Amino acid sequence: MQTQSSTRKRLLISILLISGLFITLRLTYWYHLEQGFSRALPLASRQLEEVINFIDGALIRYESIPHVLSTNPLLAKALRHSDDHTEIQHINRYFEEIQHVTEASDIYLLNKNGDAVAASNWQKPYSFIGQNYAFRPYYTEAVAGRLGSYYAVGTSSDTRGFYFSYPIQEKAEILGVIVVKVDIADIEAQLTGLAKSGQYELAISGDDQVIFVASIESWRLKSLVPLDDNSQQIIYKSRRYANRIISALTLKPPYAPFEHSEKTPIYQIPNDSGKAQYIDTRSEMTKAGWNVHVMTPVKPLYTSLPPLLMLSACLYLLAALGLLFSLERRKNMRRMQQAQQLLEQRVQERTRELQDANDKLQETRDELVQAAKLTVIGSLSASINHEINQPLAALRSYAQNTQTLLTRNMQEKAQENLATIISLADRLAEIVAQFKSFTRKTKGQDKLTDLRVAVEDALTIVTPEIEKQQVQLQLQLPDAPLRFFGDKVRLQQVLVNLISNAITAMQHSPTRQLTITISAGEQLCIQIRDSGPGVNESQMEKIFEPYFTTSQRQGLGLGLSISRRIVESMNGSITVANAIDGGAEFKILLPLCPAEENV
Ligand code: ADP
């Protein structure tokens, strides 16, 4: 289940990543092109303005020439005497000179029927003289008394030109028309140079959508839209493009004339090296009847696109991976925090449990210590009874005796008896006090205690048994006090234990000798040696284990294990060994208390 959901999650992340990448690439593409266009369009508008100004400037130079020439009375004269060869020849030479000076392509004179009577190219093989130009609109305009202008391919020269015409009048009578033809090829060459340096292409089309001027040769005299038969016929009849049949350029999408286009269109147009996409920025030149197109190639915009796409993809992937990484990290941190909290909670729970267990253990240990004490007392009870009963019996007999002495008025003797009674009562109180303090449940109070006192207090409890069993006690105690720091009652319990064990061990021994020695070296040392059978070698360590006992009667097997624990809690140690002449020897080592060390 979990693997299935994690696979689904991974799949979702992959889909999101890929979609994100796709959107990023798409946005980069869009943004780059938008930026490119927003930079290219104002530039193209400036270039367009430059081109229009250039054409205007180029044509304006020639515009006034026909008007100026028409003021020459020789032209009217020549028209009146067109059959006068010398007169015409004179005009021919005059035109030739003017043509050289003005750099116009051709200058020629038409009579009122539209026949060329004189021309600057009178010597050229394509001389216009004798040709009729009545079909040309510049003729019709001029004979109507107006300045005419027109562009067309010359029917004689087959070169593209711009024509300016003006009527020749004499006393309001129009005698003919003077025409100046400007060669478009020169202007086109200069415009092409301008276009190449501005890294764009140029096209100038007329109302008939036929390109008249272009920076790319293959575009020249091609129409922007496919022409139907009717249009083709009209164009042919006008002879604007001499006798050419105009074919169309293949534009994708199809060319939209001004009125249909809302925004700057992009066209794919065939060029000298195949096809290319161009942004078409255009403007009308109403005076010349032209549409000027600045065609900005789109390719440079696309050339810088792949590295940009790569860069944006890399940045996107970096950002996405960074995001994923930080999300994963946050998730892991959260998981770790949860795990830590859980761990802390468990540790707290375990600590509490351990604390409880420890408290219980401590309680149990205290109970055991108490039980062990009571066991010793139980085993000693007979002799203790004896110890207490004896002074009690003595007390009774002394008291009776004192009564008798008092009735006999033997005051002095009675006084002595009473003193003995008091000392017996004291002795009893002392014994009872020792038992009381021994059997009391103690939490343990550490204080400085003389070892000799501890031994003597222990002996108070076991003396009745020692005496009962007729054990010979040999005490080897130092004269000066030997102090140790610890709980006296507990040490007393250890000593009572060891002594009563020794007494029990010697029960069947012919000689019953108990030696207790206290000494001090690097540590305090208490030795308790008996003349019993000693400890079986194989049981040397076992005897300190809880519940190990060989006692058939009251033994719980706890005495030695508790004794060892008590001594170790005082930072000491307890060991057993068999003496050379038989019997067991228990040795308790305790640390010297700091005060003793300093002495
Ligand atoms: P218990 O006295 O109830 O048996 P202890 O832990 O005091 O328990 O003693 C364990 C055993 O160690 C005894 O049963 C006995 O076999 C052995 N032991 C103790 N002291 C002596 C000794 N002085 N001599 C020989 N054996 C001893």
Residue 105 is part of a domain; what is its CATH number? 3.30.450.20
pLDDT at 599 over 50: no
Q: Ligand 1 within 6 A of 528 CB?
A: no
CA of 569 to the centre of ligand 1 (A): 21
Taking alpha carbons only, the member of 384, 387, 576, 386 closest to residue 498 is: 576
Residue range 222-238, pLDDT digits in tens: 999 998 999 899 898 88
- Answer yes or no: is 110 within a domain: yes
Question: Are 531 and 512 spatial neighbours (Cβ–Cβ below 8 Å)?
Answer: yes
Q: Predicted confidence band at 10 (pLDDT cuts at 50, 70, 90)?
A: confident
In a domain? residue 222: no
Q: Examine the domain organization and report whether 469 and 594 are in the same domain.
A: yes
HSE-up (13 A, CA, CB side) for residue 593: 15
Q: Is residue 135 part of a domain?
A: yes
Q: How far is the CA of 536 from the centre of ligand 1 (A)?
A: 11
Q: What is the pLDDT of residue 574?
A: 96
Q: Residue 268: CB partners within 8 Å, gap ≥ 6?
A: 251, 252, 275, 276, 277, 278
Residues 435 and 451 in one domain: no
**From ligand 1's centre to the CA of 564, what distance in Å?**
13
Note whether 426 and 481 are same-domain residues.
Answer: no
pLDDT value of position 160: 94
Q: Is 372 in the pocket of ligand 1 (CB under 6 A)?
A: no
Separation of alpha carbons 484 and 130, rounded Å:
155
The crossing angle, in degrees rounded to 10, of helices 305-407 and 451-468 is 60
**Is 470 found in the same domain as 350?**
no
Among 369, 495, 514, 549, residue to substitute to test ligand 1 (most atoms within 8 Å of Cβ): 549
Ligand 1 atom closest to the Cα of residue 562 is: 6
pLDDT of the residue at 148:
92
- Cα(433) to ligand 1 centroid in Å equals 27
**Regarding predicted confidence, which is higher, 405 or 557?**
405
HSE-CB at 320 with a 13 A cutoff on CA atoms is 18
Domain boundary (390, 425, 440) is at: 440
**Is 298 in contact with 279 (CB distance < 8 Å)?**
yes
Residues 585, 531: Cα–Cα separation, whole Å: 9
Does the beta carbon of 548 lie inside 6 Å of ligand 1?
yes
Burial string for 222-251 (b: 16+ CB within 10 Å, else e) reads bbbbebeeebeeebeeeebbbeeebeebeb
Tokens of 520: 């001090």
**What atom of ligand 1 comes closest to residue 548's alpha carbon?**
10
Domain membership of residue 214 (yes or no) is no
Task: Using the mean position of ligand 1's atoms as its centre, give its distance from the Cα of residue 482 in Å.
Answer: 28
Distance 477 CA to ligand 1 centre (A): 25
How far apart are the C-alpha atoms of 75 and 87, rounded to whole Å?
9
- The domain boundary, picked from 185, 203, 233, lies at 185
Say yes or no: CB of residue 562 within 6 Å of ligand 1.
no
The arithmetic mean of pLDDT across residues 77-97, rounded, is 91
What's the pLDDT score for residue 562?
A: 85
| Residue from 373, 471, 493, 501 to probe ligand 1 pocket by mutation (most atoms less than 8 Å from CB) | 501
pLDDT at 440: 66
Q: Which own/partner pairs from 240-245 qualify as long-range (CB within 8 Å, at least 24 positions apart)?
A: 240/151, 240/152, 240/153, 240/208, 241/152, 241/153, 241/210, 242/152, 242/153, 242/154, 242/155, 242/158, 243/155, 244/153
For residue 528, give the ligand 1 atom closest to its CA. 23
The larger pLDDT score, comparing residue 10 to residue 108, is at: 108
Classify residue 253 by its DSSP letter.
S
Enclosing domain of residue 359: 330-440
Query: 284 forms bridges with which residues in the sheet?
Result: 291
Same domain, 484 and 432: no
Strands, E assignment, 364-482: 447-450, 472-476
55 Cβ closer than 6 Å to some ligand 1 atom: no
Asked if 384 and 471 sit in the same domain, the reply is no
What distance in Å separates the CA atoms of residue 219 and residue 223, rounded to the nearest whole number?
Answer: 8
Residue 389: alpha-carbon gap to chain centroid: 90
* 138 band by pLDDT with thresholds 50, 70 and 90: very high
**Domain assignment present for 381:** yes
pLDDT at 299 exceeding the cut of 60:
yes
546 C-beta closer than 6 A to ligand 1 = no
250-295 pLDDT, tens digit each = 999 998 876 655 677 889 999 888 889 999 999 988 877 889 999 9
Identify which of 422, 413, 477, 415 has the alpha carbon closest to the alpha carbon of residue 451.
Answer: 477
Are the CB atoms for 74 and 91 separated by under 8 Å?
A: yes
Residue 243 phi/psi, 5-degree rounding, is: -105, 25
CB of residue 557 inside a 6 A radius of ligand 1: yes
Amino acid identity, position 129: I
In a domain, 482, yes or no: yes
Closest residue to atom 11 of ligand 1, CA basis: 549
The verdict on 473 and 585 lying in the same domain is: yes
Q: Tell me if 502 CB under 6 Å of ligand 1.
A: yes
Question: What is the model's pTM?
Answer: 0.54
Atom of ligand 1 nearest to the CA of 555: 3
First and final C-alpha spacing in the chain:
78
Q: How confident is the model at residue 155, as a pLDDT? A: 86
Percent of residues, the chain, with pLDDT higher than 90: 56
pLDDT one-digit tens code per residue, 508-517: 999 999 999 9
Model confidence at 368: pLDDT above 90: no
Q: pLDDT of 22-73, one tens digit each?
A: 999 999 999 988 888 888 889 999 999 999 999 999 888 898 999 999 999 9
Residue 556 Cβ inside 6 Å of ligand 1? The answer reads yes
pLDDT at 100 over 80: yes
* pLDDT value of position 213: 95
**433 or 90, greater pLDDT:** 90
pLDDT above 90 for 385: no
* Nearest atom of ligand 1 to the alpha carbon of 558: 6
Q: What percent of the chain has pLDDT over 70?
A: 94
Contact 374, 435 (CB under 8 A): no
CB-hemisphere CA count at 13 Å for 325?
6
559 plus 451 within the same structural domain: yes
Q: For 303-348, what is each residue's pLDDT tens digit?
A: 888 899 999 999 999 999 999 899 999 999 999 999 999 999 999 9
Mutate to test the pocket of ligand 1, among 543, 563, 564 (most ligand atoms within 8 A of CB): 543
Cα distance between residue 107 and residue 120, in whole Å = 5
Q: Which of 75-89, 523-537, 541-555 has the lowest mean pLDDT?
A: 541-555
Closest residue (by CA) to atom 20 of ligand 1? 501
In terms of C-beta distances under 8 Å and separation of at least 24 residues, what long-range contacts does 246-253 make, across chains too?
246/210, 246/221, 246/222, 247/222, 247/223, 248/222, 248/223, 248/224, 249/211, 249/219, 249/222, 249/223, 249/224, 251/224
Backbone angles phi, psi at 387, to 5 degrees: -60, -40
b/e per residue 79-104 (b: at least 16 CB within 10 A)? beebeeeebbeebbebbbebbeebeb
- At residue 225, the pLDDT reads 92
Q: What is the pLDDT of residues 531-569, one digit of tens each?
A: 999 999 999 989 998 888 887 766 678 889 889 988 998
- Is residue 382 domain-shared with residue 451, that is, in the same domain? no
* 406: CB partners within 8 A, 6+ apart: 414
Q: Is 53 contained in some domain?
A: no
pLDDT band, residue 129 (cuts 50/70/90): very high
Do 372 and 483 belong to one domain? no
Q: Which residue's CA is minimally distant from atom 17 of ligand 1?
A: 543
| 379 has a pLDDT exceeding 90 | no
What is the whole-number distance in angstroms between the Cα of residue 205 and the centre of ligand 1?
131
Give me the CATH number covering residue 535.
Answer: 3.30.565.10
Q: Which two tokens stand for residue 300?
A: 């440079």
Give, using CA atoms, the residue closest to atom 26 of ligand 1: 535
At 573, give phi and psi (nearest 5°). Answer: -145, 155
Q: Is the CB of 143 under 6 A from ligand 1?
A: no
pLDDT of residue 444: 62
- CA torsion angle 402 406 410 412 (round to 10): 60
Structure tokens, 269 = 């147009």
Protein residue with its CA nearest to atom 8 in ligand 1: 557
Q: Are 313 and 328 in contact (CB under 8 A)?
A: no
The number of domains in the chain is 3
Structure token digits, residue 388: 């207490």
Domain stops at, among 398, 422, 440: 440
Q: Nearest C-alpha to atom 27 of ligand 1 is from which residue? A: 535
Question: Closest Cα to residue 505, out of 496, 514, 493?
Answer: 514
Any atom of ligand 1 within 6 Å of the Cβ of 505:
yes
- Mean pLDDT over all residues of the chain? 88
In 3D, which of 218, 227, 269, 270 has the Cα closest to residue 247? 227
CA dihedral 36, 38, 39, 45 (to 10 degrees): 130
**Same domain flag for 378 and 512:** no
Three-state DSSP at 423 gives: helix
> What are the pLDDT digits (tens) for 166-217?
999 988 899 999 999 999 998 999 999 999 999 999 999 998 899 999 999 9
The protein residue with its alpha carbon nearest to ligand 1, atom 19, reads 501
- d(C-alpha 179, C-alpha 165), whole Å: 4
pLDDT tens, residue by residue, 449-477: 899 999 998 888 888 889 889 999 999 99
- pLDDT beyond 60 at 595: no
Centre of ligand 1 from the C-alpha of residue 501, in Å: 6
* Residue 333: burial class (beta carbons within 10 Å; 0-12, 13-18, 19+): exposed
Same domain (yes/no): 393, 460: no
Dihedral in degrees, nearest 10, Cα atoms 410, 413, 416, 420: -100
pLDDT for the residue numbered 180: 96
Alpha helix (H) residue ranges in 81-149: 85-102, 137-143
Residue 467 falls inside a structural domain: yes
Q: How high is the pLDDT of residue 464?
A: 80
